[in-house]
Amino acid sequence: MKINNESEYEKASERADEIFGAKKGTPEEKELQELLKAIKEYDDDFIRMLKANE
Q: What is the pLDDT of residues 13-52, one digit of tens each?
A: 999 999 999 999 999 999 999 999 999 999 999 999 999 9
Within-domain flag for 20? yes
Within-domain flag for 23? yes
Q: Check residue 54 and give its pLDDT.
A: 83
Within-domain flag for 1? no
Number of domains present in the structure of the chain: 1
**DSSP-derived secondary structure for 18-46:** HHTTPPTTSHHHHHHHHHHHHHHHHHHHH
Within-domain flag for 11? yes
**Residue numbers of the domain that contains 38:** 6-52
What are the φ/ψ torsions at residue 39 (nearest 5 degrees)?
-65, -45
Within-domain flag for 37? yes
* For residue 8, pLDDT beyond 90: yes
Residue 1 per-residue DSSP state: -
